[in-house]
Amino acid sequence: MKTVTMSVKLECYVGIDTSNYTTSIAACDSYGKVIANLKAPLFVKEGERGLRQSDALFAHVKNLPALMDEFSCCIRDFAPVAVGVSTKPRALEGSYMPCFLSGISAAHAFAAQNSLPVYETAHQNGHIMAALYSSGCVEKLMSGDFLALHVSGGTTEVLKVTPNITKTDFNIELVGESKDINAGQAIDRVGVMMGLAFPAGRELERLAQSYDGKIERRKVSVKNGCCNLSGVENIAKQMYDNGVADKAVAAFTFDFIERTLTEMVEQIFDMDQRMPILFAGGVMSNKIMRHRLSERFDAYFAEPEFSSDNAAGVALLCRLKHAENKENG
């Protein structure tokens, strides 16, 4: 008689995130290892500096079917047991962006098909969790309070993060922010002004890395841990219009933003206490700023794959929340 061997699939946890510029689907296994982290950037027309929410929502709807098909292949040897989804930018009352509706719909459709529970989180919490995972220092940072700088096109915030009692999520207090444009916006606007494609961060960084001259220094605008960044765009435009080399303008831009972030942190430490700092968000994949900030602070960074928008942190939080839910019956 022939014996049939039945293979048992390993469990996995799914995460879905639909930010303003990236459609993301990820999964982690039962040990907390990310096994899939798929992304599809939203198309931005040449010369444009961003997307309207209606366009972002439509772009996610177009991206999701193909990304879901690819994701299904990635987890064919795993059995999903829960789905996590980011439903809003921040874990605050009133925080809302329509682009997250596409992710919510996809998460509930996937969960309903497989009779799985859905766990909601915020995009920002996902960023912090992904950065923690990528930093390789989850246990150290989760042992007490730490600062998290979420620096991207949509956010420039300094957050005081306190892991909750069960270590399944975070209590977040906003202690510093930009009062006008965000760091990523400033970078993209300077890049587009110089003829670079949007998003302009990587190409602008290449230009800055090629500059070996003296960087022009202007006074940054920071008060009580909060900053204004519109000045960097205005000064960069003046420099560019006056014929300053592109690479010098690029170097100035990153230097100004790095010194702004440094001053924000120092002012917050003056009002509180020094603590480790976790840097997350697309802007913090910049190698120039990472090097300088590492020299000054007890700093931890996400790798580029986990620093820009992604759903890995959402999947990791889903795993923690599901384990807590099972423990509580």
Within the chain, where are the H helices?
53-74, 100-114, 123-135, 138-141, 183-193, 201-209, 230-241, 246-271, 287-296, 304-307, 312-327
2: pLDDT strictly greater than 60? no
- Phi/psi-derived region of residue 136, left when phi > 0, alpha when psi is between -120 and 50, beta in every other case: left
pTM: 0.80
Identify the pLDDT of residue 44: 80
Closest CA to 208 of 152, 258, 162: 258
Q: What's the whole-number mean pLDDT along residues 150-155?
A: 84
Which of 48-57, 59-68, 86-95 shows the highest mean pLDDT? 59-68
Does 10-137+307-327 match 177-304 in CATH topology?
yes
Element (H, E) at 223: strand 221-223
In the chain, domain spans: 10-137+307-327, 177-304
Of 305 and 175, the structure prediction assigns the larger pLDDT to: 175
Q: What's the whole-number mean pLDDT along residues 173-189?
A: 95
CA distance 320 to 318: 5
Confidence of residue 1 (pLDDT cuts 50, 70, 90): low
Identify the pLDDT of residue 3: 55
CATH for 10-137+307-327 is: 3.30.420.40
Identify the pLDDT of residue 302: 82
Mean pLDDT, rounded, of the chain: 92
Long-range contacts of 55-59 (CB under 8 A, 24+ apart): 56/20, 56/21, 56/98, 56/99, 57/98, 57/99, 57/101, 57/102, 59/23
Cis peptide before 41 (omega within 30 of 0): no
Identify the pLDDT of residue 300: 93
**Which tens digit of pLDDT belongs to each residue from 248-262?**
999 999 999 999 999
| Angle at alpha carbon of residue 114, lines to 113 and 117, rounded to 5° | 110
- CATH number for domain 177-304, candidates 1.20.210.10, 3.20.20.100, 1.20.59.20, 3.30.420.40: 3.30.420.40
| Angle at alpha carbon of residue 29, lines to 27 and 35, rounded to 5° | 50
**Which tens digit of pLDDT belongs to each residue from 275-285?**
999 998 789 88
Closest CA to 60 of 37, 43, 78, 83: 43
**Which tens digit of pLDDT belongs to each residue from 204-251?**
999 999 999 999 999 999 999 999 999 999 999 999 999 999 999 999
Identify the pLDDT of residue 324: 93
